[in-house]
Each structure stands twice: as C-alpha cells, then as structure tokens.
Amino acid sequence: MQTTPDTLALIGNTPLVRLRGPSEATGCDIFGKCEFTNPGASVKDRAALFIVEDAEQRGLLQPGGTIVEGTAGNTGIGLALVANAKGYKTIIVMPETQSREKMDTLRALGAELVLVPAAAFSSPCHFVHTSRRIAEETPGAIWANQFDNIANRRAHIVGTAEEIWDQMEGRIDGFTCAAGTGGTIAGVGLGLKAKDEAVCIALSDPHGAALYNYYAHGELKSEGSSVAEGIGQGRITANLEGAPIDTQFRISDHDGYAWVRRLLDEEGLCLGLSSGINVAGAVALAKHLGPGKRIATILCDTGFRYLSTLYDAEWRQAKGLS
Ligand code: PMP
C-alpha cells in the first residue's frame, strides 16, 4: 500500500463491495459504493471538496475566509473537515430535526452550528435561505449552495462515475440512488452515460419527495413522508437539470429499513437509512432489468451517525418503523 499525501486525498476512491443478500435475492450482481469510508464518513465529502476548490479557483474564497452552508448535516461535516485542512472557518445551518450525532460531530470539528426549526422551502426560515442570508451578512464568507452549485455534481462526474466504471471494468447495466441535492444521481448518471449510453439510470425516490412524480408524469408532486435524512427533494435543483433518468421507483422507509437491518445482521455493514433506500432501489432495478445484470448503488453514510435514531428501538417505534 502506498502512502497518501494529505488528508484531502483520502476523499474518494472508495471501495465497491458486492452485496451478497441483494444479489442472491435477485439473481443479479448488486454492488455498493462504500462512501462511508470517506474521512467525514459520507458521500458528501466529495461535493464539499469540489465546492471549496471551485470557490478558490474563482477567487471567491480568500485565506482565513468563511464557508457557510445549509445542510442536513453530512455536507456540513465534509465542508468543516475540508475547511480545517485548508484553514477556513465554517458556519453550518441545520434543521433541528437531524440526528444528534451529526450536530456533535460538527461541533467537534469546530464548525459554528446554527439550528433552525424544520420549515417548508417557501418559508424564509428554511435552512437553505437562512444560510444564504448569513453568508451575505458575514464578511469574507462564501455560500456553498450545494443544491444549485454544480461543482457538486462535477465531483460525481469526474470522481464517483469514473471509479464505478473502472471498478466494474466497464460491465455495468444499471445504477440507482436517491436524491438530496441530486448531485450524486445526476453526476453519476451523466458520467456513466458518457461511457455507455445503454446503462440504465434509475431514481429511487423516498416517500414525501416530488421527483418520482416529476420523472414518471412530468409533475412535481409529493405523497406521504419519510424519516430518511439527507434525501427527498421537492424541486429540480440546478444539479438535477438534465439528469439522464431512464426510470424511477418509489421506495418506502419500511423497505429501506428492512435492507439496513439485513445488511447489518447478515453482512456486517452499518449504514444510514438512505443507503437502505438505495439498496431497496437496486433490488427494484434488478427486477426491472431481469436476472444476470450488474447494478451499482451508493452506500451514502455510516450508520454510527444514527445510533440515537435509526438504531434506537424507541425512536423507531415512535416513527412507526420496525
Ligand atoms: N444520503 C445522505 C445520508 C445524505 O446526507 C445525502 C446528501 N444530502 C444524500 C444521501 C443524497 O446525496 P445528493 O445530495 O448527492 O443527492
């Protein structure tokens, strides 16, 4: 094994693991991209690094400057560790409904944490709008704007998609994941389609998100709700514009949690609920494509981030998830 030049070089180049249970259940080979092995333990380290380096290259971020972002948590963790490695400060705005572990991690990383009540996107109190206002009012600050800053999806075009293509030796029939900002699905989709137009790109949308109806019927409309953190989008973000979605599935928390449970109990993988929803989506895609196909999905973050929620029986019972 070679040495790595610095901590930021630890971002990306994650392993791709064959998931035994989902593969056996479908007669396909289903692979999970282990994004929990990034230094911030989630897929969002990639977007954080690209957003910061893009701002540096544009001359927007000066030494000692501040990075402000609204986030469900993982992007904040990624930004805070990139900021520490490069000598910037971070102010992170987060809905107070997110897991305690994410808040504790952000505080441990030295980020200034601003908690806001959960609010609709149309409300000025929404975490995205609050973060933009703070960035505007803070001298020397940039707003990372992960939803509409396409440096986010570029991280997945040049990073995640290339890696998946190489790791699968160009033999891949389908890819699926859920969308938060949409950076992952759009970036990996565009990157894989550039290699082979025939790769089927499927959106796995949680309940409560509006994208399933948009891609299926051309209408942004949501039904139901989900307790999965980091996913569930109600609009076409700049990152989602032109995303090459061939098909879409609506995945329940119940189905996502069933795979979270099985992957932990049978394969020793401790994951968050969005990963379970992605794996349930990969199983749906395998059924859609038929046996013998090779499918990849994203294992977005570590389950250790949800010990007080997803892995707590009382919490699950309160949320009707068991
Ligand atoms: N899963 C988790 C746990 C996340 O934090 C995020 C990011 N919001 C996603 C999935 C979705 O990734 P993206 O923003 O690239 O759509």
Task: Give 33-67 pLDDT, tens digit per residue.
Answer: 999 999 999 999 999 999 999 999 999 999 999 99
Give the global pTM: 0.97
| CA atoms lying within 13 Å on the CB side of residue 173 | 15
How is residue 80 written in tokens? Answer: 């805070």
Convert the pLDDT of each residue in 185-210 to its tens digit.
Answer: 999 999 999 999 999 999 999 999 99
- Report how far ligand 1's centroid is from the alpha carbon of 1 (Å): 30
- Ligand 1 test: best mutation among 300, 306, 309, 310, most atoms within 8 Å of CB? 300
ipTM of this complex: 0.99
Does residue 99's CB lie within 6 angstroms of at least one atom of ligand 1?
A: no
Q: How far is the CA of 292 from the centre of ligand 1 (A)?
A: 29
Reported as a pLDDT band with limits 50, 70 and 90, residue 2 is: confident
Other CB atoms closer than 10 Å to residue 303's CB: what's the count? Answer: 22
Which residue among 190, 274, 278, 305 is best mutated to probe the pocket of ligand 1, counting the most ligand atoms within 8 A of its Cβ?
Answer: 274
Which one is catalytic: 33, 44, 89, 293?
44
Give just the sign of the alpha carbon dihedral 96, 106, 182, 255: negative
Closest ligand 1 atom to 272 CA: 3
Take residue 174 and report the two structure tokens written for it: 């389908």
Answer yes or no: 44 catalytic. Answer: yes
